[in-house]
Amino acid sequence: MKSIFIGFDPRETSAFAVCRTAIRRHLNQIIPVRGIVLEGLMKDDLYWRKTEVRKSAVDRPILWDCISDAPMSTEFAISRFLTPHLARRESYKTTHHGWALFMDCDMLPLVNFGRLFDELDDNYALMCVKHQHAPTAGTKMDGQLQTVYARKNWSSFMAFNCDHPANDKLTVELINSVPGRDLHRFCWLEDDEIGELQPGWNWLVGEQPEPMPLKNIHFTQGGPWFPGYEDVPYADEWREEFHRWAS
């Protein structure tokens, strides 16, 4: 089984739509592509962390995760870790659940994501691009507070081996009870259970040299759907994909 989940945030509906459209356009096989939608997870009693709306230093409302005592730049900041649970639930009739990819919505896929699944190694519980990334800016896209934590941006594009026993420790209860910084550093895994993907699968625009081959663009500082970011690298390519979706 293979599945792809994209984080959804109401403030970035166009980004989500473009990301999903680009994935589907490049695929040459049937792989379901679904959204991680916080409202639905709460209705299904899968997400119950206490969250508040506060004002940031730039006088914009932000989501605040009370367990972490830290801001959430998106609605899927924590709910992303429910990906293997959701994938197993969809494939409950089988004994082999396979791999499930989670990705942020502020990305522009450039290639057939079926190739990603061909690169995954069943010896690992999780695979991601292991960024050496320590942002210094106080804010990022849409005026959201920039939070620094271990393994920053590793969890923005991560493939879960849903059959690996180590991921059994990533329970719904754990996801709803520990600080987000622990989840983002993959606290339930040992270091040797985390495999490494090629850098081109999660290129952080404006933060790193462009890798080759480039497979997936991550507008982590802000994408062309936000005012003030219309001229970031690959903005024209994003707009082309937007017009494909909108037409």
pLDDT at 142 over 70: no
For 222-237, give the secondary structure using H, E and C: CCCCCCCCCCCCCHHH
Paired with 33 in beta bridges are 4
Mean pLDDT of the chain: 93
The amino acid that residue 8 corresponds to is F
List, for residues 165-207, the tens digit of each pLDDT value.
999 999 999 999 999 999 999 999 999 999 999 999 999 999 9
pLDDT at 64 over 60: yes
Confidence tier at 150 by pLDDT (50, 70, 90): confident
Closest-CA residue to 35 (of 2, 70, 65, 79): 79
Domain that holds residue 74: 2-246
List, for residues 8-57, the tens digit of each pLDDT value.
999 999 999 999 999 999 999 999 999 999 999 999 999 999 999 998 76
Rounded (10°) angle between helices 235-246 and 13-26: 90
Domain of residue 122, CATH code = 3.90.550.10
Closest-CA residue to 46 (of 98, 21, 83, 74): 83
How many domains in the chain?
1
